[in-house]
Amino acid sequence: MPSPVGHALAGLAAGWLAAELGRKRPATLERPLVTAVVFGTLGALPDVDVLVEGTHRLYTHSLVAAALVGLTVAAVPWRPLASRWRSAAACAAAYGSHLLLDWLGDDRSIPYGFRALWPFSDTYFQAPLRIFPQVERQYWLPRFWTANLRAIAVELALLVPVVLLAWWWRQRRGRDARGAQ
């Protein structure tokens, strides 16, 4: 499974891209750094379940959990309803990016994969093609540092271009909109 670094990068890219989809005009972010931190945090958030023994890759690693994140954001009356739903979709996408990376990650701990369809199914899911290397959690093993540095290097190589592309697209849409005015 990917590291928190990879999950945060994927959450950032997914949140930025989802915030733009379906918009006629580009989003204006009042606080772009805060938004980036929120999306990155949401991307890594499902792994908070490691704090509760025996629950890792269960409840927080489901599509239902991603939907609940979106519904929670939509329920907060802080903006007009259409804007809230767009923010909710962006936050759910950032959270859901964690599931995509875990699905594409190499998991060597039994049971393999995660329960994406909980509470409707107890089936564990893992893609046949595993792009992201296993992150080593057993810090006492000699391979701990080398395995994790290698995993983070792969994540950076794969995800930094996606984040840069999402950033570029947002910037370009903003310039195009300002030029059209």
Taking the C-alpha atoms of residue 90 and residue 84, their distance in angstroms, rounded to an integer, is 10
pLDDT of residue 93: 97
Q: Other CB atoms closer than 10 Å to residue 69's CB: what's the count?
A: 21
- In terms of Cα–Cα distance, which of 121, 143, 130, 118 is closest to 56? 118
pLDDT of residue 157: 98
Whether 181 has a pLDDT exceeding 60, the answer reads: no
The answer for residues whose C-beta is within 8 angstroms of residue 155's C-beta and 6 or more apart is 2, 3, 5, 6, 9, 132
CA 64 to chain centre: 15
pLDDT at 180: 58
- Four-point Cα dihedral 28, 155, 8, 161, nearest 10: 0
Least confident of 15-24, 30-39, 137-146, 168-177: 168-177
* Location of structure tokens 């875990």: 102
Specify the pLDDT at position 45. 96
- Using one digit for the tens of pLDDT, what is the confidence trace for 57-79? 889 999 999 999 999 999 988 77
Structure tokens at 52: 């509760």
% the chain with pLDDT above 90: 62
Domain ranges of the chain: 4-180
